[in-house]
Structure 1
Amino acid sequence: MAQNLYSPRVRMGNWNEDMYLEEERLKDFLKKRDEGELLIQRSRRLKKNLLRPMQLSVSEDGYVHFGDKVMLVNPDYPETEADVSLGGDLALSMTPDEIQAHLSEGLEVPCGLSAVPTKIPVARNTFIILSADRDASDQVLRYGQDFHLGITGGFENKMLYLTSDHRTLLKSSRKSWLQEVYLTDEASYRSCWQAALPDPQLRLEHEGFPVPANARVLINHCHTNRGLAAHRHLFLRTYFGKEAEVAAHTHLDSHRVEKPKNHWMLVTRNPRNDSPTMLGLPRPPAEDTRAVEEAMGLNTQ
């Protein structure tokens, strides 16, 4: 195959035009570099915002309140349904599309989600508990109460909401083809969720009780009645590497009880400085009983 061994400096053919084109390319490159419009500069800014360190809220009474900043964590459990899976605690995180992340320095909607093995609160995995009634600021979140899960992703004046909708032929999760979960900038009934007790025998009795922080709960979608689930065995190649798929689907065992895939914890900050979250800290053996007794006392007042 013949090769072009001539460069624009060799004056043959349209050499003058080639020299002007080279000068224009250089000017365009320098202009974009000075204005911060290069793809690598946009990518770095986006990554810096998403990985910005965040500080979670401290639960002084042991419960979750509206306005609290928390991490949604799927607790570690032995996966028996797949040979290969992500281990450890998985945090729900926003995952921008890789192509859109290079083309735009902002957050494109709808924005994807994934489960990430991390215990460090950053902008991409720190959610805010928001009231669906808009008049319950600083009030305690209760089982069966509608709420929104908002996230800024490190951007000011930008709030995205955890949202889901019925599965269709054109809209479903990428790996399991189940109901998709995503982030959008519109707060609607499709972005309303409820917390439920994992034990089905005590679920109705705890309706209306305060939701404890750092304890296992179910996060159910109000519009479709599907539970938020982390699929540890289904991997996604994301902008940040290998992560797990997140979908809205209720996985039941033979006893009609939700599997650990549907278990989540609303993790708050450790009031001490030795750890940014309450994950991994030893719990008193009677803590759950005491929490139920206090909740019953609050509910009767």
Structure 2
Amino acid sequence: MNYNNSVLIGNWNEERLKNEFELKLFLRKRERHELLLQKSRTLFSNLLKERPLAISGTYVLFGYNVQIVATDMSGFASSGKSRYGLALSSLVSERQVDYIQNIDDGCLMTLSPITTPCCRNTFVILSAKDESLRGVKMNYGDEFLLRAENYGDPQSPPLYVRYTPEGAPSSTDRMPIQLSSSKDSCCRWTTMPLLPRDRLEGLGSPVKTSTKLIIKNCVADKNLCVMSQNWMRTFFGPECGVTCKNYLDIHKRCTAENIFSLVSDVETKTKG
């Protein structure tokens, strides 16, 4: 064989060994379910598994699953058309999917256009005074906790929706609401009627499902609100940030960013 300018030269053995090593590494990761595709599928299976809401009747009852829905804010459906309703949901980011395939301590909270009841957007509403209460009507002014259930690992410690007050001025896109395993006063929330004229008389009356109301953090004394200018791309599509801030119009009434409803009834949710 004569060598000339058309003869190709390369590290043939090195390339072959490299390809064999990458193939063996791929097969080993696939057997151990360590591939990113497999982890993503597990994440979707755990967090998007539907959880039917228990029929609790006309009123919100302690011990039942509820959804926190911003009824007056529009989201984006898969078809590209806007629709109203954003559900408070737990989020596992792209950086966490390598070692987390379920909700965990430190997961951020967002508002998602996906309002179908599932593991990531349903919470057990508990009385802050007595968590063992079940079937008791919740009244305006009662302090409550929102506990997220890890259905993939029932032995895991309970997680609560917690607001972290800012100790110093921070950026406007800061997202201070997340899941936490530490149950302290920052996990306490309360409700009050939407209209200011109804708040004095409505204090102590039962909360009806799907009624528009204000949710306030007991420590920060600020309303739960939609960060309408802070949209982000996630594994579950575009989602909006959530924080605690008071939005008032010129008449001192809360705007759409602060209006939420507690959905604990499938029939009520369908009507809304």
TM-score range, shorter chain: 0.7 to 0.9
Contact 2:46 2:102 in 1 (8 A): no
Aligned pair 1:190/2:186, yes or no? yes
**C-alpha distance in structure 2 between counterparts of 1:154 and 1:64, whole Å:** 23
Contact 2:74 2:84 in 1 (8 A): no
Superposition map of 1:198-217 within 5 A:
198-217=194-213
Contact 1:127 1:150 in 2 (8 A): yes
**Aligned partner of 1:70 among 62, 66, 71:** 66
Aligned pair 1:35/2:39, yes or no? no
With 230-239 and 212-221 compared, the bigger mean Cα shift is at 230-239
- Which residue does 1:131 correspond to in 2? 127
**C-alpha distance in structure 2 between counterparts of 1:50 and 1:141, whole Å:** 27
Deviation at 1:169, TM superposition (A): 4.7
Give the TM-score of the pair, scaled to structure 1.
0.76
With 191-200 and 148-157 compared, the bigger mean Cα shift is at 148-157
- Which residue does 2:107 correspond to in 1? 111
**C-alpha distance in structure 2 between counterparts of 1:87 and 1:265, whole Å:** 16
**C-alpha distance in structure 2 between counterparts of 1:145 and 1:178, whole Å:** 28
- Which residue does 1:6 correspond to in 2? 10
Contact 1:50 1:153 in 2 (8 A): no
SS in 1 for 2:96: helix
Give the total of aligned pairs. Answer: 257
The code of the aligned residue for 1:237 comes to R
Deviations 1:269-290 (A, max 9, x none): 33xxxxxx523527xxxxxxxx
- Which residue does 1:259 correspond to in 2? 255
Q: Structure 1 179/35 Cα, relative in aligned 2: closer, same or farther at 3 Å?
A: closer
- Which residue does 1:94 correspond to in 2? 90
Aligned pair 1:140/2:137, yes or no? yes
SS in 1 for 2:43: helix
Gaps of 5+ in 2: 1-7, 76-80
SS in 1 for 2:219: coil
Gaps of 5+ in 1: 10-14, 80-84, 271-276, 283-301
More strand by share: 2
- Which residue does 2:221 correspond to in 1? 225
Q: Structure 1 77/94 Cα, relative in aligned 2: closer, same or farther at 3 Å?
A: closer
**Aligned partner of 2:269 among 271, 274, 279:** 279
Q: Structure 1 151/30 Cα, relative in aligned 2: closer, same or farther at 3 Å?
A: same
**C-alpha distance in structure 2 between counterparts of 1:86 and 1:169, whole Å:** 36
